[in-house]
Amino acid sequence: MIVTDFLVQLRREVKDVQNVGYTDLELIQFTNAAIQEVNLLLVKAKDPFMAADITISGGMAVPDDFLGPVGVVPVHVNGGLFVIDDGSATVSARYWKKLPYIAAMNDTMPLPDWYMPVISRAAAIYALNRNEYQIDQDKGLMSEIASLLESAYA
């Protein structure tokens, strides 16, 4: 999904279809906060979409999207570089990845479309909170969504 299309959906959710309550930049910032939150929820739930493959060599720079290894891997990080603990030349592993932020209206959302309702709900909570709307019910819904995500992969 393109950011432009996502923001149309988000504006409906925050009742700003006339584009007067929030700038595009504000909604992109709220969306990035939501992406980060959903990213961490998905990693906590061990969603396979959040894992990436890597072949690590000693002294290799840690990728920007690296959150941590999936499982036990004989490496550690020192000063932004991988150190292989068992003396191997390379280690194949999987790692939990951090999703990229969106910056422009023509960017592509970093998750498949089936995640968009969750991101939209979280972004709407951030947006509505700016205006001090009552968001307790929304926060409760996000808590339920987080529980559902966790139980889906348990």
Measured from the Cβ of residue 38, the count of other Cβ atoms closer than 10 Å reads: 26
pLDDT of residue 92: 96
Give the C-alpha separation, 51 to 43, whole Å: 8
Enter the tokens of residue 36: 């980060």
Contact 11, 28 (CB under 8 A): no
Which amino acid does the sequence have at 129? N
Domain ranges of the chain: 3-47+101-152, 50-97
DSSP-derived letter for residue 71 is S
Torsion region of 80: left, alpha or beta (phi above 0 gives left; psi -120 to 50 gives alpha): left
The kind and range of the H/E element at 10 are helix 3-13
- pLDDT above 70 (res 128): yes
DSSP-derived letter for residue 17 is T
Average pLDDT over residues 112-140: 81
3-state secondary structure of 83: strand
The better pLDDT of the pair 77, 138 is held by 77
Q: What is the pLDDT of residues 39-72, one digit of tens each?
A: 998 998 899 999 999 999 989 999 999 999 999 9
- pLDDT above 80 (res 124): yes
DSSP-derived letter for residue 79 is T
Is this prediction's pTM over 0.85?
no
Mean pLDDT of the chain: 89
